[in-house]
Amino acid sequence: MATAKWLGTASLELEHDGKVLLIDPHLSRPDKWRTFTRPLAPDADKIGAYLAGLEGEVLGIIVTHSHSDHLVDTPYIARRLGIPVWGNESTDTLLRLSGLPGCARVLAGGETFEIGPFTVEAIRTRHGNVAFGKVPFPGRIPSNVQPPLRVWHYRHGEPPLLLYITAGGRTIFHQGTANLIDNLLPVRQVGSAWVCVSGHGYTPDFVPRLLRRVRPEKMIPFHFEDFSRPLAADTPFLPGADPHAFGRKVQAVAPEVKIVVPQPYERIPF
């Protein structure tokens, strides 16, 4: 059975038949003071503790866009495990700057590919408006800086990506930012849809537009917690990102969809 484990933010650990695929792994979770006053570096102790508890072989990492809360830990994990990474051109830029040329497979959206037992379909999107109705740190990671980078150097890159991932005959949808380009998002029936809640209120008609394209048995809101704090069941929500309120919006449009608010490190079947 294919499962997804929530690691906080938009981070998922997918597992099927002893094979693991990581999406947007963000384990360091620096606090706000560190984030905005010092260069960002992976927390080796936190990452090491997580990797020590993994059950299964990690085949690779997919990064849906290159903001720090999606990308900062990836070069460290990729180097430590010797695994490939898939992401946009800014993901490739950071890996090259980190001494890992050739590690990234660059995605532009529209690709379908296999990583072990996982079939991945990447879809181009646009980043959602989050901070005061604006896109934070738009554009591309500059190529003339050296890691560790400041948070504002982690621009989202082009393009941000949405994902359909199939394993064991079941499909999940991963949406790491609350926006979409309707005509580029294929219509799919899925077992579960993992959807970013942060900033969704700034995207006009976000819920009905999404549900016209993605038709899930269950909707799993995520990327709702204050990721400058340790991940726990009682971590405060980001402003405007209450997952329970988001679930009510979903059920007002599609009452047949089951809402599952994930708990930290909980495994949920595809």
pLDDT, tens digit, 9 for 90 and up, residues 76-104 = 999 999 999 999 999 999 999 999 999 99
pLDDT at 50: 98
Q: What residue type is 114 in one-letter code?
A: E
From the options 1.10.10.410, 3.60.15.10, 3.20.20.330, 3.40.50.300, give the CATH code of 3-269: 3.60.15.10
Q: Beta partners for 173?
A: 164, 193
pLDDT band at 131 (very low <50, low <70, confident <90, very high): confident
Domain layout of the chain by residue ranges:
3-269
pLDDT digits (tens, 9 = 90+) for 13-30: 999 999 999 999 999 999
Instruction: Reply yes or no: is the peptide bond before residue 148 cis, omega within 30 of 0.
Output: yes
Sign of CA dihedral 9, 175, 99, 146: negative
